[in-house]
């Protein structure tokens, strides 16, 4: 049973990695050559792809429930937070990517990795809903 769940998780991660690897050489040089509308399209497309990926995590969560995978909710929740771009607006993302790639030391950083860094940074600064005090 554990091997099956591990296989499902490994397959999901591998397919996600292959998708990014097949995207070509998308780094800072690529980003800086894009027009403003192309940058907007790229970020919106990436965001849409991440929404689909997050939606697929529901299937994995259902499988985890069926096979009684301990700790699945915690792991899947973490992956969901790392994939979600809900905390970043496209305008903010484009601005931050422009700033990041204006620094020469980041020009070789893959665009997918840069977007993940920005997503993680936004998630760290966002206030979790359960930490907001409520009136009693």
Query: In this predicted model, what pLDDT tens digit does every residue of 71-119 receive, in sequence order?
Result: 888 888 888 877 777 778 889 999 999 999 999 998 899 988 888 888 8
CA nearest to 97, candidates 83, 111, 86: 111
The confidence band for 132, taking pLDDT boundaries of 50, 70 and 90, is very low
Q: What is the pLDDT of residues 23-57, one digit of tens each?
A: 568 888 999 999 999 999 999 998 888 888 888 88
Average confidence score pLDDT of the chain: 78
Q: How far apart are CA 124 and CA 119, in angstroms?
A: 9
Helix and strand element counts for the chain (H, E): 6, 0
pTM, to two decimals? 0.64
Query: What three-state secondary structure class fits 67?
Result: coil
């Amino acid at each position: 049973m554990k091997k099956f769940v591990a296989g499902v998780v490994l397959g999901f991660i591998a397919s996600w990695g292959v998708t990014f690897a097949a995207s070509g050489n998308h780094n800072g040089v690529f980003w800086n050559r894009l027009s403003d509308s192309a940058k907007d399209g790229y970020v919106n497309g990436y965001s849409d792809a991440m929404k689909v990926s997050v939606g697929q995590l529901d299937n994995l969560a259902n499988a985890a429930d069926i096979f009684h995978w301990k700790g699945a909710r915690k792991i899947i929740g973490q992956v969901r937070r790392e994939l979600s771009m809900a905390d970043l607006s496209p305008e903010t993302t484009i601005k931050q990517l422009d700033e990041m790639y204006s620094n020469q030391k980041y020009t070789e950083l893959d665009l997918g990795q840069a977007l993940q860094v920005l997503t993680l940074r936004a998630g760290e600064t966002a206030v979790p809903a359960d930490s907001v005090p409520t009136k009693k």
